[in-house]
Structures are given as structure tokens and as C-alpha cells.
Structure 1
Amino acid sequence: MEPEWIQAMQEELQQFKLNNVWELVKRPDPRKHNIIGTKWIYCNKQDEHGQVVRNKARLVAQGYTQVERIDFDETFAPVARIEAIRILPDIMHSVCMCARFQAAPKESHHLVVKRILRYLAYTPTLGLWYPKGSEFDLVGFSNANYAGDKVDRKSRSGTCHFLGRSLVCWSSKKQNCVSLSTAESE
């Protein structure tokens, strides 16, 4: 194997180590536990002239598939780093989006709520489990800084809501425009 590929694999493994992606344990009995294998994917990153500028290696799970739009919405940037992938649970995101319009819902919001209810009707085996004696308090936090960014003078605001110890909804927004005014007096 070429040294460039070994270096690419080492970079990928180093990212896993830095992000605490896994914990090394003894291999369990395969008759009692389902063991997911891994596979290396190799690709060459090329410039606009077709010259190889970098070798990239990615470690992926074998035999494990996720169903998009049922288990999650996946958004990712075209890089092979684990921190570039975000997984957003579909049902939580949809419910939080609908909750914003409770005061003045429109027909489109009713259609989305119907879609959520259809989803719940066809997935009866999935759900939330709250053990007896667990905390069931709904707690919300909010924070804002006004013109906190010294470069563009834009404000940020954010909220997060916890049900017990689990994060169930969050939002973060940066102001999209800034208006500065000056007045001259005589």
C-alpha cells in the first residue's frame, strides 16, 4: 500500500480519536451480539486539471443502512470529516417547526400536522420511554447578545428546551441585517 493512503487513513483515525467517536472494547461473542464490520473507502481528490492533490480515506460501517426521512434528515458538507455530518430527528424537528405557528395557524400548518399524525399512526412500534420516577420537567433557556460580533455588528439569539435531561428543541439565529444611523446636531 502506498504511503499516501496510509497517511490518509491515519488522518481519518486521528479525527475519530479527537472526537471520541468510539471506545475500544473486547470483541463480544458473535452468536449473542450483532457485530458491525467496517470497510475503508479510498478516493483521490483532484484539482480542476485532473491532477491528484490529495488521497482521502473514509472508514464506513458495513451492512448498516439508515432510512432517510423516517429515522433522520441528513445534511452534510462534501468533506469526509465526522463533525461535518448532522443528524436531525425528523419528528422532533417537524413538531418544533409547527409549534411556532400555534397562535395563528394557516392551512399549510394543518397539512403538516396531519402528515406528522400519519407518520405516528404508521410507526406504532416507535416511541419514547419514560421510566417510573424519571424527571419529567420541561425547562427552557434563552440567551441573546446584541451586536456581539465586532466584525459585522450582528446580534445572535438562541433557545433550548429540555424534557427531563433530554434536549427536545433548540434554535439559534444570527441577525440577517444591521442598520446603523448617525444624527448630526447644531
Structure 2
Amino acid sequence: MTVPPSLPSWATPKTVGGPPAPDSPLDRQYGAFVGRRWPAYRRKFAPFFADARFQPTWNWAAALSVPVGALWFLYRKLYLPFVFFTMAPGFVFRMLWEGDLPMREVPNPIDPAGPPLPILTRDAALVMLGVVLSAAVLAGGTANFLLFRRASAAIRVVAPRAPDAEGALALLRRIGGTSWRAVLIGFAVLMFLQLLGGRAGAA
């Protein structure tokens, strides 16, 4: 009888053991990190508890935030993904046009007698829309996994170093959770950079 070849390590499921039992110590740790929406994310994380490798899931909030600056990632304190999903669409778009953006001029609706406003051509605007939608799909498909990985890493690092169970939960709440302050700061920075870019283009 021929024995089938063994699967390579990257194709072998890395079983975590399923979702933690409700109100178990691990469940409380994830709940402390994720916050009040842990019951919803507990269902979203179920595929990762069964197999810790990446699997596409869907997060509408993350996907819809990409056109306005990927602010969901800031809200969830996922700072590196925020930088990636904020910068990647513009970077890819400029690469497609080799840095020379096709522009056309239109009358200024606020001051018709003033200088015309430069905007993207119709074809360039459609390409930009496609790039942003692609980034939104990528963000929506990876957001839950990125949050799961960060929560798991925080639990592995923080829990063993805390003096007791309550101390671990307090630290996880501080590291995880959400931050409207980060959203407001990020939005202000994006608006400032956009204003600078607009002034530089006008000059």
C-alpha cells in the first residue's frame, strides 16, 4: 500500500484548538484586548482559532474606511496596517502613471473669474477608483486576521509578565481596545498633508 507523501509545513494546518471556552481565562484576555465588541469578534476569529494561518474573512468597517484614510486601523490601534493602507493606493497609482499624473483643468466653481482647477482626467480617475477599491477589498479581507494576530501576540507577551490575572486584563485593555484620539489625530494629519499637497500643486 502506497503511503501518500506528507504535506509541506506551510500546507499543514496549525491547529490552535478552537475558540476559548466562554468566560475562560483566555476568553477574558481576548475580551479585554478587543473590548466590548468581543462577542462579535469571537465569531470572526473562529477560523483563526481552528487554523492560525491567514484565512480571508470580511470586515465592512475596515473596507469602508480605506477611501477616507483607513481610519478603522487607527481606531483599532493597528498602526502599521494604517500606514500601509493609507499610502499604498497613492503609491500604486503613481507607479501606474510613472509619476506623471494626467491632469486637466476645469473652471473654478467658487471663483469663475479665477484660475482653473487642475483635476485628474477621466481615465486616470477611473484607474484611481479601481486602485482604491482594490485596497478596500484587501483591507476588508485581512482586517480580522490582523487584529487577531495583534491580540494573540499581546496575550503571549503581556499575560506571563503581569503580577496576577486582573493585572494582565488591565494591561491588555490598555494595549488593545479602541482609540478615538488616534482617529482624530490621524484625520487631522491626513487633512494637513492634503492641504499641503493642494498648495504645492497650485504653486
TM-score range, shorter chain: under 0.3
The higher-RCO structure (CA 8 Å, 6+ apart) is 2
Give the structure-1-normalised TM-score: 0.24
Q: Higher strand share goes to which structure? A: 1
Give the structure-2-normalised TM-score: 0.22
Question: Highest CA radius of gyration, 1 or 2?
Answer: 1
